[in-house]
Structure 1
């Protein structure tokens, strides 16, 4: 079989432009994921939410993403990657507009779930499209554009929240509604991109149309070799992949890698950090303005180190990045747990005067002069003195008035964690997903694994407010550190390197004969 000569001159500008347009779905995904962090206080008050209601309001977008995961793969196989991405753009626009105008909790949840469906589609189909249109030597970097746009979206959301937070009235509506603008841009620009040449050949047998697209990407020789390679894979195709195929022994290695990486990418707490960044910094004693500013720093750190990952992924490889990143994630989470473990809670006159609720302030006056080591000891003394609503208010809003903590260490730990994730589990997972699944099962497999990834993410974001209130940040970060250590061991034992290999070569390497 003739391979693509690495010296073939590619039309990089054309391929990069297409990839950037498609990766705008990642921008919307990141923006939608992070923008809620600034709206948490506003929606909590407006809709009068309990901890569980807040957890669901934040995490329901992932609930919607599960539906998007299940639908996107099969629909993209049937109707094409481009058509599904256009639908995704429309869903983002509808969700942003509706959630900004919602007047009831149920209505707000429905609007958020619609956006989640868009997330589920964008996070799966954009990397598949880019992987199918990109030359092998550029594939890792171009697929990583999607992750780059995700983190740009996160950063822009934090900036947007920071500048909108002090608007008079219900600023959370502006925070959520502004997403409709990039969603409309995405919808319009998607009409200019071509359909996937690999999909055109495999599903429609449109070789001539696929050749025109491939000629624009790499010229005559590249087009002929790529078509021949796709047709060679097509010739040995079996019937269309089904969900039951994923349990066949020949795909055991692929599914172990995919499910393991999907699990560890979310169980180590990344979305808890992104969704609740200002809340975490307020837990460390920061003011509202400073916590929103620190969230911006988190977003920028994520952006910078995603650029580093894009530069390294086709040089250093997928597995080395995963090992480096998960190692430093573990260290960072241990640092955060250590910082909160050494925090104290000081009930002096100045701190008591900061309490906005006079009834709570009066009830806690008798604790004046006391200092508590850790949240457990604090809550044991505070809870009997307050009713249920007052105690909830104390845990959510007043506790930060009393904490004495090394806030700098917390900030460094969070930034190190985000940077480590950004060079490893963030971009590498989606690159691996776009590479390891054979064409026969790619649609159904990436939907199933994406659904599992979203399920884990939903669980983490749903539980996180409860963890902060009941277990405290020390135990919460310690749990994530243990899980991150398990991720290191998993990557070392199971993940294989796919750098520089064609999709067909990866299939031959991983599928058991």
Structure 2
């Protein structure tokens, strides 16, 4: 019964289409990803600028400029430098927990608005920074903004999209992240040439994506799911008809109403998410963001310029190489938008994992041959050798961009039932930000101690996460949000965790009856 609900009857029961209205609102909402992407791209470039290092981190600057014999693996090792980058993610971690309540009680739009305002304030403080304390305060405010935006935007996109196009529309959020990274890399290259204050323009440029999300939060419509959860069913029905482009939306509306009734009976969603029947959802909300960060991607994105300078690239060459990587990141995300609803989430996860594993191993071998264990190159880095390293890093980034990059936002946002959806998404973002903080804070120290084995370390983790997906993640392509429990019921491992009454409720909704929901 469950398989037929998810696979055969959807077109008949959910006849809505992808309208221009939904496409336009989804693109506008997805621009919330620009603030996250811009920050990822800008921080690594700024921390490689001599004027920035000389002003705020003079010891690191001295090691870079004057000590040519330094072990290259340890050249930039400094906890204060990494704190500049990682402080944002601690703030985002705590904010995402608060954002859960805001989103549930007041809707995704208000969460986006809070995110934009906080991010704008943080960017302004960073651009005017006179000391490290101002940098950290500004970065923390940026983190507050990212926490609100990352919690609300993926949920908004999943709830607005018709199930047939949910994957592609949700991945527009990841596309915005990659565009933000690319724009930041390009700006870093040009601003680095502006004397002693170019870094201020790089940091201050974050105000522009903040303004975009502020405007978006004001003009976007509410999702039907959010309106029902906040007690406005008539408006929810009107909005649902508008976004689906048809009048006959009874089946989908009844399912959302049933989920809304369940949501109202849940007084403590953070407590309820621990119930046995939500164990599959909880596992994925923790495992997927954890694994995403331990693919090693943010090592590349945060510190690409520093990494390339460590490999012997000059200032311009390191920034140009980071820009090239950003370009591959954007193009490969388009592949995911095209294929996620055709090939499925699981296929992309596994293919991307295999590709990343191979690239990590090869880059580790190349760097090991060049720098050995001492970290001192046996000879100047030849151009062809440097190009080869960049090529394999680009192949690695491409694999991430059409697999673990977008899908780690998409899958958790679509698997939770409405009654715990905000709490589940907050948990997903919190784990993501915690792991991002750990990676950002420890990267330079790990590189210093693990040397070229650093890349082999991530290769082993990519292997483990690919096996996890193969055995434990069911395919969620083409399943309406409110019928998602069927994928767990049909899974060889998770079926024992799903209560039978959940599937009975789905059958009652299909027959036009009101389920007796038990929480």
Q: TM-score, normalised by structure 2?
A: 0.85
Q: Are the equivalent residues in 2 in contact too, given 1:214–1:222 (CA < 8 A)?
A: no
Q: Distance in 2 between the 1:442 and 1:236 partners?
A: 12
Q: Distance in 2 between the 1:33 and 1:88 partners?
A: 16
Match of 2:458 in 1: 480
Q: Distance in 2 between the 1:254 and 1:214 partners?
A: 26
1:5 aligns with 2:3: no
Distance 1:496 1:70, change over 3 A: same
Match of 1:80 in 2: 107
1:468 alignment partner, one of 418, 424, 447: 447
Distance 1:190 1:449, change over 3 A: closer
- Deviation, 1:70, is 1.2
2:95 alignment partner, one of 40, 62, 68: 68
- Deviation, 1:4, is 4.9
- Deviation, 1:291, is 1.0
Match of 1:228 in 2: 254
Match of 1:505 in 2: 483
Q: Distance in 1 between the 2:375 and 2:115 partners?
A: 48
- Deviation, 1:465, is 1.4
- Deviation, 1:6, is 8.2
The runs of at least 4 aligned residues of structure 1 exceeding 6 Å deviation read none
Match of 1:197 in 2: 224
- Deviation, 1:9, is 5.9
- Deviation, 1:78, is 1.1
Match of 1:449 in 2: 428
Q: Distance in 1 between the 2:86 and 2:407 partners?
A: 24
2:55 alignment partner, one of 39, 43, 46: 46
SS where residue 139 of structure 1 aligns? helix
Match of 2:374 in 1: 376
Match of 2:411 in 1: 432
- Deviation, 1:236, is 4.5
Q: Distance in 1 between the 2:247 and 2:472 partners?
A: 36
Q: Distance in 2 between the 1:507 and 1:491 partners?
A: 18
Q: Are the equivalent residues in 2 in contact too, given 1:257–1:494 (CA < 8 A)?
A: no
- Deviation, 1:254, is 1.6
Match of 1:260 in 2: 287
1:94 aligns with 2:121: yes
- Deviation, 1:245, is 2.2
- Deviation, 1:258, is 2.3
- Deviation, 1:231, is 1.4
Q: What are the ranges of 5 or more consecutive residues in structure 1 without an aligned counterpart?
A: 345-373, 379-398
Match of 1:415 in 2: 394
Q: Are the equivalent residues in 1 in contact too, given 2:13–2:252 (CA < 8 A)?
A: no
Please, what is the CA RMSD of the aligned residues? 2.0
Match of 1:210 in 2: 236
Q: Distance in 1 between the 2:43 and 2:174 partners?
A: 19
Q: Distance in 1 between the 2:330 and 2:102 partners?
A: 31
Match of 2:86 in 1: 59
1:240 aligns with 2:267: yes
Q: Are the equivalent residues in 2 in contact too, given 1:100–1:176 (CA < 8 A)?
A: yes
Deviations 1:187-241 (A, max 9, x none): 123211111211101222x122112222221234453332112113334454234
Figure out how many residues of one structure are paired with residues of the other and give that number: 462
Match of 2:470 in 1: 492
1:319 aligns with 2:346: yes
Q: Are the equivalent residues in 1 in contact too, given 2:352–2:399 (CA < 8 A)?
A: yes
Deviations 1:263-320 (A, max 9, x none): 1100121111101011111222211111111111100100001000010000000011
